[in-house]
Amino acid sequence: MSIVGSLKVISSRLKQARESAGLSTRTAAGRLQSLGHAITYATISNYENCKTVPPLAILDAFAAIYDRKREWFYAEGPTLSGIRYRAIQAVRVGEKRTFEGEALGWLTAYLAVEKVIDDPRKWPEDFKVEPNDSGPAVAEKLRKASKLVDLPIPSIVRLAENIGIRVIQVATEARIDGFAAMLDGVAVMAVNANLSGDRMRMNVAHEIAHHLFADCVKSTTLSEKEIERRAMDCGSHLLIPDQAIEDAIKLKSMVRLVQYKERFGVSLAAMIFRGKALGLLTEQEYQRLWIEFGRLGWRKDEPGYVPPDRPMRMESLFDAAVNQNKMTYTQIATLAGLDERVVRQRVMSAVGGMSEAVDGRRELNPMRIDNYRPNSGSKEM
């Protein structure tokens, strides 16, 4: 790489690290000053725009306040493209950049580790999206190709992974549902880990639709509103087909609706909206239901429980790479631009392990099967 190319990488990485940390240039400058470096926000802007070069001591200071390794700032990596958010109007730009930055780090490591682990995905047979297909039509095709037809989808995340979409979760308090995007030619998705089970499943189904229609890759004559409506229609029909909506509503029983919510993993609000669209509810019935929902506080907290449908393939590949001696936690952490302890904690959390059990100084992988030794007083079951 040329000197100019290296400088562009460093400037890009500096900006990515700052945005991922959720810091403004002024806040970052203040933290550098607390470390004894007379740096202004304007100087940081010059570094990020490749106008001046940060001295090595300053780069080390950036590494400290952003919790990155110095080597990460020199490493050239892929960037997200064609990002499509769902319902993003009330989110600040800084919150989006922070969410994207954290997702990019994890996804970069995910794709790199995937190349050394044999865990192929199987595309459903006889499934193809035609140019003029509607959202519901594509959902029906995918259900049939996946041999689900009118059955509930046990894991919408697993379905996304089976059609080649890499899915991760990123925790944020911002009002972000998730996004679909491309990363180095690969379809990826990041969803907010702090959402309810039914909302997360709808988000995943919605972003699946964006990828099925190649909304993150190619241009279209449809308006943004039409693109989002198509994705929503596809995602909703993917989670629950029309016949199930009819079965849930025709009895006029809220108990039945809650049963179908829990069975199909979809919100009551989504089913009621679909019921109105299908003519199963009159306008008067529809409005009365919403009034009742508001009175009971169900618009924010519906009855019925949908368990989390969490993406964990990335964590399983990280674990496999370490157990198979293909990569170390240190190498994975470097790819992600994170502290090794953060990666270890994420893998441990995927199996319900306690974060306190993760010690970055230990080489022993606590999840490795051949490291397990029962207590001397335990009996074999």
CB 211 within 8 A of CB 69: no
* H/E stretch holding 83: strand 80-85
Q: In terms of DSSP bridges, do strands 80-85 and 178-183 run parallel, antiparallel, or are they unpaired?
A: antiparallel
Measured from the Cβ of residue 169, the count of other Cβ atoms closer than 10 Å reads 24
Structure-block tokens of residue 314: 């990335």
For residue 241, how many C-alpha atoms fall within 13 Å in the half-sphere facing its CB?
15
pLDDT digits (tens, 9 = 90+) for 23-33: 899 999 999 99
Instruction: Judge contact between 230 and 134, C-beta under 8 A.
Output: yes
- Top CATH class of 1-76 equals mainly alpha
pTM: predicted TM-score of the whole model, two decimal places: 0.80
Amino acid 140: pLDDT:
96
Predicted confidence pLDDT, tens digits, the chain (381 residues): 444 447 788 888 888 888 878 889 999 999 999 999 989 999 999 998 888 888 888 988 998 898 877 777 877 778 889 999 986 667 887 888 889 989 999 999 999 999 999 998 877 777 889 989 999 999 999 999 999 989 999 999 999 999 999 999 999 999 999 999 999 999 999 999 999 999 999 999 999 999 999 999 977 788 989 999 999 999 999 999 999 999 999 999 999 999 999 999 999 999 999 999 999 999 999 999 999 999 999 988 999 999 999 999 999 999 999 999 999 999 999 888 888 999 999 999 998 854 444 444 344 344 433 433 334 343 333
Which of 99, 315, 317, 79 lies closest to 194 in space, CA to CA? 99
> Which strands, in side-by-side order, build the sheet including 178-183?
80-85, 178-183, 186-192, 166-170
Give me the pLDDT at residue 353, please.
56
Dist CA 220 CA 227 (whole Å): 9
Which residue bears the tokens 């995943």? 204
Boundaries of every domain in the chain:
1-76, 78-239+309-370, 242-296
Separation between Cα atoms, residue 280 and residue 271, nearest integer Å: 11
Single-letter amino acid, residue 45: S
Determine the distance from the C-alpha atom of residue 152 to the mean position of all C-alpha atoms in its chain, rounded to a whole number: 22
> Which DSSP helix (H) or strand (E) runs through 85?
strand 80-85
Query: End-to-end CA distance of the chain, in Å?
Result: 59
How far is the C-alpha of 231 from the C-alpha of 86, rounded, in Å?
Answer: 10
Residue 267 has a pLDDT of: 96
Assign 376 to helix, strand or coil.
Answer: coil
C-alpha torsion 131→137→143→149, nearest 10: -150
